[in-house]
Amino acid sequence: AQKITQTQPGMFVQEKEAVTLDCTYDTSDPSYGLFWYKQPSSGEMIFLIYQGSYDQQNATEGRYSLNFQKARKSANLVISASQLGDSAMYFCAMREGSERYSTLTFGKGTMLLVSP
């Protein structure tokens, strides 16, 4: 079974509007972290936001916020006031455990296109 599911292959949004990118995850580990990355066409993976499984409040970083619903195992990324530069692939990822090493598992990504 997939650990990270991103059901939206592509999303379109107009400039200045808000957009939500979906992510659901699957884990039996009570300790995990959830991450969102942005990958422009240049290829670099840019870290956007992090949410820990024990965090009580939803994470926010500027125009990015993470809608964390633990019972539903979802961690949707909300981008407010979209900009043309937000056009990119967006990946949700999860890191489990706290042993010797813990791996980061990525979803397949959502392509976001922002139009003028």
> Closest CB to other proteins among 59 and 112?
59
CB of 87 to other proteins, least distance (A): 18
The answer to whether 68 and 54 have CB atoms below 8 angstroms apart is no
List the structure tokens of 98.
Answer: 């706290």
Nearer to other proteins, 81 or 104 (CB): 104
- Where does this chain bind other proteins (CB under 8 A)? 4, 31-33, 35, 37, 42-47, 50, 52-53, 91, 95-109
Q: Which is nearer to other proteins, 55 or 78 (CB)?
A: 55
Instruction: Write out the two tokens for 58.
Output: 């939803």
| Token output for 93 | 């990822």
Q: Hey, how many other C-beta atoms are within 10 angstroms of the C-beta on 104?
A: 13
For residues 82 and 19, the answer to whether their CB atoms sit within 8 Å is yes
Q: How far is the CB of 107 from other proteins (least distance, A)?
A: 6
